[in-house]
Amino acid sequence: MAVEESAAPRNNEVKKSTASKAGKTAKKPAARKTTTTAKRAAASRAAAPARSIAGDAPAPSIAINEPYEFGRVNVMDITPNAEQGVYPARVELGEPFEVTAQVFIEGRTKVGATAVVRNPRGKETLRVPMTCVNAGLDRWVATLMCGEHSDAKPWEKEYAAVKRQLGEWTVVIEGWEDAYVSWLHDARIKVQVGDDVENALAAGAALLERWAASADAKLAARDRKTLTQAAAVIADVSLAPEQRLAAADNADIAELHATNPLRDGVSPSRPQRFKVERPKSSFAAWYQFFPRSEGAYWDAETGKIVQGTLKTSLTGLERAAAQGFDIVYLPPIFPIGVTNRKGRNNALVAGPDDPGSPFGIGSELGGHDTVDPLLGDMDDFKALTARAHELGLEIALDFALQCSPDHPWVKQHPEWFKHKADGTIAFAENPPKKYQDIYPIDFNADMPGIEKEVERILNLWIEAGVTIFRIDNPHTKPVRFWQDVIASVTKKHPEVLFLAEAFTRPGMMRALSYVGFTQSHCYFPWRNTKEELEEYLLTTNGDAGYYQHNTFWPTTPDILTAYVRDNGIAGHAVRAVLAAMGSPSWGIYNGYELIENRQRPGFEEQIDNEKYEVKIRDWSRADDFGIGALLGSLNRIRREHAEAFGYHNVRLLETSDPNILAFARHTPAALTSTGKPETLVVVVNLDGHNAHQAMVHFEMPEFEVDPQWGAHMRDELTGRDFAWSWDNFVSLAPWADVAHIFHVVHN
């Protein structure tokens, strides 16, 4: 139903008035009007106000009864907009985001626009005046927020208040005729040239009186007094025209126009839907480690590696918490198959002591619903999640929907797998690549049955303390499958999140986000030049961010790029800064702190890959490189300036050197808890070997900085203070500072 302003008649009043007139005047049956014509005529007659003696009649608010009808002011092309009106844009609770719309009226009359935010219960929580950013295209913009930022975890008592705010919010764009600005524009000209001055000023006095009496303007008593006093001065013919006009053309009246305008012909858009999701749905810091490597050691007697367990993995939790991460992500912890088990570095034949890949899931010991006995049992896993929660960490579990030839499903449900012409089950392959240790699932024979089993398994791990699932290769399964599974799981456990590990085409990525994948792996590791990064920052933090929440990972067990390989400690620092500051959600694969950057020849992955063997690490060496301390600093900056982070508030800054990248994150003062703007400026030297200098342009008014005083910039990495103006010199060297992360200090 359209939202109607008080100036407009209610639908039942329109019908009553029209019916009453028809009853008095009807002498004989008249030709019946079409429904649309009748509604339009009734609304026009009922909404039309009496013509004022001084000036034109104010624009009426015309009731909108059908989705295709326009109001008195035209509102179109609102962004973001759900595809086919089905899939709403997604934002995290308290995340700043931007809406735009075309708002216009006929002729040269001026218009204004207001964005109104309502929670799932229909209560208005925010009303923001929009700004015209392109008059030629009638484009208006506003930065909004649904609810307040929170760090409450699903298991904490504070989460109950968070939960009540989640769901579908709406934003309505209200276009309106700006009678004050239209009048002022003409009055200034007429007073200046002495043309029809009395009529112009009389109209202005009447307009201010009407403004003072407007309920929609929500004026305080002192504001109404300001307007009526100004109207009296304008109407005083004993004063000079310039003096009379000045009573309505000054800073006080301009401020009232900005905050409490006279809005004629208010025309609301249809409500735009936004799905508001829980904390950490998009603003999160991930840390990945393999439990079997945590606490692993060499047995001097046997000369063999003793792998870690879920109990020894508590050290990994402690390390993640100390570095300020929010989420610990574990690879599959299920039994590993024996048939065709892979050896070190993906060798086709495993040695007698090779543990195999945890992605070759399932053995005679169990499948996806079983803890690998070499790691422990379900009680050990529950103890791990309980300790994680004590440390403020969420546990994310990898769920790879594939099976080893030894998985129980192979015997229990052979119809769930693809078969060759000779009747044997086909292992996975992407010619010429072959994955002999994995059987892919065939969804065509019994997708409902597979869905039911997967839902059972996910719920089992949720009950054990998992709040997030990282799904391996979801793009190789039907989108409808994930849509059904995620809907079923989140209906019972709405706090559960899903991350898509999908490196694939844009259409598939968007579809996965539509059906419930809250975050996504992405192509950040391969964006390394200034031009590539600038383009990708805007892609990630633009309109696409309303659906696909890219998570920036410098490396993963599957990815080790040439940049990380070739740029040493400085390169690791650069990529960490870009990941932590470039996206609200980022992640680190452990070993990054130890500069593990040797590639397997011919592949963009690490040699001696942890997916195929147990790694013994000397964590006492982490302090030698400083990367662990940097990770902690980056997460501290993110926490202390959380209000600067969102998928829609990145702006690129112009720099004079092709190796110096600069960008800013900015949230306006009106949307922060302190009432001050929250701005971070990131400047990075992308060259891991050479120093570079550049001039960085800082458009101060765009960041609510008064050019008269300049900007007080505090480097959050070093604590040093700088004074910035329009153009600013920076110098960064890989052996000293690879980056500045400036906080704009507002006293």
pLDDT 10s digits, 528-578: 999 999 999 999 999 999 999 999 999 999 999 999 999 999 999 999 999
* pLDDT, position 268: 96
- Going by pLDDT thresholds of 50, 70 and 90, the confidence category of residue 709 is very high
Q: What are the contacts of 106-110 at 24+ separation with CB within 8 A? A: 108/182, 109/177, 109/178, 109/182, 110/177, 110/178, 110/181, 110/182, 110/185
Joined together, the tokens standing for residue 439 give 């059987």
pTM of the entire predicted model: 0.88
Q: Residue 129 belongs to what H/E stretch? A: strand 124-129
pLDDT for 106 beyond 80: yes
Question: Distance between CA atoms of 146 and 148, rounded to whole angstroms?
Answer: 7
85 or 614: whose pLDDT is higher? Answer: 614
Q: Tell me the CATH number at 678.
A: 2.60.40.1180
Q: What angle do CA 310, 317, 282 make, to 5 degrees?
A: 115
The band of 724, judged by pLDDT with boundaries at 50, 70 and 90, is very high
CA distances from 745 to 577, 631, 684 (A): 21, 23, 20
Residues 353 and 341 in one domain: yes
Verify that 661 and 630 share a domain, yes or no. Answer: no
Determine, yes or no, domain membership for 287: no
User: Model confidence at 329, in pLDDT bands (50, 70, 90)?
Assistant: very high
State the Cα–Cα distance between residues 92 and 281, nearest whole angstrom: 6
Is residue 577 within 8 Å of 739, Cβ to Cβ? Answer: yes
For residues 61 and 19, membership in a common domain is answered with no
Instruction: Out of 52, 70, 95, pick the residue that ends a domain.
Output: 52
286 lies in some domain:
no
Q: Within this chain, do residues 337 and 358 fall inside the same structural domain, yes or no?
A: yes
Q: What is the maximal distance between C-alpha atoms in the chain?
A: 112
Closest Cα partner for 289 from 521, 563, 589, 558?
589
- pLDDT tens for 29-61 read 444 444 444 444 444 444 444 444 455 788 888
Residue of 143, 35, 53, 58 whose CA lies nearest to 702? 143
Whether the per-residue pLDDT at 23 is higher than 60: the answer is no
Contacts of 592 (CB under 8 A, 6+ apart): 554, 555, 572, 576, 627, 631
Please give the single-letter amino acid code of residue 140: W
Strand partners, 299: 304
Same domain, 323 and 183: no
Residue 325 included in any domain:
yes
Same domain, 228 and 368: no
Residue with tokens 């993995």: 313
Domains in the chain: how many in total? 4
Binding site residue list for alpha-maltose 1-phosphate = 342, 402, 437, 473, 611-612
Phi, psi of 166 (to 5 degrees): -85, 155
Residue 11 has pLDDT above 70, yes or no: no
Residue 297 belongs to some domain of the structure: no
Local confidence band at 68 (pLDDT 50, 70, 90 cut-offs): confident
- Give the domain range for residue 90: 53-276
d(CA 462, CA 454): 12
Asked if 146 and 117 count as a contact pair (C-beta separation under 8 A), the reply is yes
* Structural domain ending residue among the three candidates 594, 613, 640: 640
Which of 225, 251, 276 delimits the end of a domain? Answer: 276
Instruction: Select from 583, 721, 717 the least CA-distant residue to 637.
Output: 717
Percent of the chain with pLDDT over 90: 87
What CATH number is given to the structural domain containing 261?
Answer: 2.60.40.10
At 210, the amino acid letter reads R
Euclidean distance between CA atoms 172 and 263, whole angstroms? 15
Query: What tens digit of pLDDT does each residue of 115-155 get?
Result: 999 999 999 999 999 999 999 999 999 999 999 999 999 99
Is 175 a residue whose pLDDT tops 60? yes
User: Is residue 332 helix, strand or coil?
Assistant: coil
User: How high is the pLDDT of residue 55?
Assistant: 58
Query: Average pLDDT in the 724-744 region?
Result: 97
Q: Which residues are annotated as a binding site?
A: 342, 402, 437, 473, 611-612
Instruction: Looking at the structure, tell me whether residues 109 and 43 fall in a common domain.
Output: no
* CA proximity to 126, closest of 169, 164, 76, 74: 169
pLDDT at 434: 77
Q: What contacts 349, CB < 8 A, 6 or more positions away?
A: 343
Q: pLDDT tens for residues 233-271?
A: 999 999 999 999 999 999 999 999 999 999 999 999 999
Tell me, yes or no, whether 307 lies in a domain.
no
* pLDDT exceeds 60 at position 12: no
Write the CATH number for 385: 3.20.20.80
> For residue 602, is it within any domain?
yes
Do 556 and 630 share a domain, yes or no? yes
Residue type present at position 698: F
Mean pLDDT of the chain: 91
Measured distance CA(403)–CA(359) in Å, rounded: 8
What CA–CA distance (Å, rounded) separates 537 from 667? Answer: 17
Q: Please report the pLDDT score of residue 429 as a whole number.
A: 83
Q: Do 232 and 357 fall into the same domain? A: no
| 480-498 as b/e: b if 16+ CB within 10 A | ebbbbbbebbeeeeebbbb
User: Taking residues 67-74, what's their average pLDDT?
Assistant: 90
Shared-domain flag, residues 500 and 352 = yes
* Phi and psi angles of residue 536, each rounded to the nearest 5 degrees, phi first: -75, -35
**Domain-embedded: residue 552:** yes
Would you state the pLDDT for residue 45? 41
Pick from 81-95, 190-204, 339-353, 488-502: least confident: 81-95
Note whether 18 and 90 are same-domain residues: no
User: Does residue 621 lie in a domain region?
Assistant: yes
Token couple for 345: 């570095």
Q: What pLDDT was estimated at residue 478?
A: 97
Residues 326 and 367 in one domain: yes
Could you list the active site residues? 472, 501
